[in-house]
A = this chain, B = another copy of it.
Amino acid sequence: MSRELYVAIPGPTPVVRSIQDEMGREIQAFGDPRFVKDYLELIEGLGGIVNSSGQTFALAGTGTIAMEMAVANTAKRGDNALLISHGFFGDRFVGICSRKSINTDVLRAPWGEIVPVDEIDKKLSEKQYAIITVSHVDTSTGVLSPLKELGEMLKKHPETLFIVDGVAATGGEFTDFDAMGIDVLFTASQKAFGVCPGMFMLFASQRAHERRNALGTIPEYYVDFLNWLPVMKDPSKFFSTPSINLVWALKESMRLIKTEGMDLRHKRHFKNGRAMQKAFEALGFKVLANPLNRAVTLSNLVYPEGLEDAKFRNALMDEGIIVASGIGAYFGKMCRIGHMGNVTENDMLTILGALERALNICGILVPYGTGLGVYQSEMAK
């Protein structure tokens, strides 16, 4: 293990050199006019990536803090929350809400499937919910939620704010904050943005701000919208020290994304993700998520019979890539592979090549070139 391992987990994703260079740059004071300008440009520019006309927050922290920020600013003790769970991270909202004394109802799909939009509609008609939460892509299952249909349906329930966990999706899966009627969307630096972990981005609609104002004083401090709003408008103001180098790294990521263009970036992720999934299937894996609601940013691969988890993942490491384990009931039965962000076709060949070798080492005899060939053919279409 002295050589570098290719990071094929669903985040952190590989970081390109120009972003690494921003990470390692000489420090500046957070009040330095050059940094203030850089930070403001980041905050002003990020909304374009998800077509948000709301307020962007780009802060030190992780996706988990962002989840807490989304809830803390939109619901209070005694409110009702409807949580749509397509896996581990959908469920995570239960713990966050219930410790804040927010009542939760959870609609869960079998892993790999989505909760039908009609069922959600019905539930929302039965009771008044302050918020509904859903993961755009749940990394535990690779399930993609139908945000467009959800947003359409939610027009019938204007009292319910639409909270979307975009951690494993935003910047890779198509997202239109305004058109989808999202009220709070958040994501983290280390996924489709291809930056080292340590920052999160949160987008909040006008309705979300109105809700925040109506809540009065909230118990949470760091994640309170109201503490950050003045800084997001004018980063020369201080609330808590910005993570200078990560701000630069994220700004470089934003530049790369805008240079590529969101439309082409989504198309690239879609074509690449689908090609990878065909290749995975050709190698004998079952992709957990139903094809009708399958993410393109990552794939969750249920093992063919006879493949032993620890042995396989160790073989993959020996062959130069690291993948993530399955979660929950799928631990030991599945691995998870990310293919989002600033990854290239050559990276995909690295992943598929290692998978082919490791399968053969583990006694699952697939002819060399099986996955690689399918991928090449799909990408050539």
Interface residues of A (CB under 8 A from B): 1, 4-5, 7, 9, 11-15, 20-21, 23-34, 60-65, 67-68, 95-96, 99-101, 188, 190, 196-199, 217-222, 224, 239-246, 322, 324-325
Establish whether residues B29 and A20, one from each chain, have CB atoms under 8 Å apart when the complex forms: no
List of B residues within 8 angstroms of A32 by Cβ = 5, 7, 322
CB contact between A68 and one of B27, B34, B221 (< 8 Å): that residue: B221
Pairwise interchain contact B324-A64, C-beta atoms closer than 8 A:
no
**Contact A197–B241 (Cβ < 8 Å):** yes
Kindly report which residue of chain B lies nearest to residue A191, judged by CB atoms: B241
Query: Closest CB-CB distance, A255 to chain B, in whole Å?
Result: 17
Number of copies: 2
Residues of B within 8 A of A63 (CB): 240-241
Give the complex CA separation of A14 and B325 in angstroms: 39
A14 touches B31 (CB 8 A): no
Chain B residues near A95 (CB-CB < 8 A):
221
A320 shortest CB reach to chain B, Å: 12
Contact status of A5 and B29, CB under 8 A, knowing A100-B219, A198-B246? yes
| Contact B9–A27 (Cβ < 8 Å) | no
* Residue in B closest to A98 when the chains form the complex, CB atoms: B217
Smallest beta-carbon distance A55→chain B, Å: 19
Contact status B5-A243, CB under 8 Å: no
A203–B182 Cα distance when bound, in Å, is 39
Chain B residues within 8 Å of A220, by CB? 68, 99, 219-220
> How far apart are the CA atoms of A324 and B30 in the complex, in Å?
10
In whole angstroms, what is the CA distance A62 to B60 when docked? 7
Closest B residue to A324 using CB positions: B31
Q: A219-B101, A243-B198 are in contact. Are A23 and B26 (CB under 8 A)?
A: no
Asked if B322 and A29 sit within 8 Å, CB to CB, the answer is yes
In this complex, what residue of B is CB-closest to A25? B20
List B contacts of A224 (CB < 8 A): 99
Known contacts A60-B197, A221-B68; A26 and B31 CB within 8 A of each other: no
Q: How far apart are the CA atoms of A143 and B34 in the complex, in Å?
A: 30
Question: How far in angstroms is the closest Cβ of chain B from A67?
Answer: 8
B-side contacts of A217, CB under 8 Å: 99
28 cross-chain CB contacts under 8 A: A4-B26, A9-B31, A12-B29, A12-B30, A12-B241, A14-B27, A20-B24, A23-B245, A30-B197, A31-B325, A60-B61, A60-B197, A60-B198, A62-B222, A62-B243, A65-B65, A65-B222, A65-B240, A67-B221, A68-B220, A101-B219, A190-B244, A196-B243, A196-B244, A197-B242, A197-B244, A198-B199, A219-B220
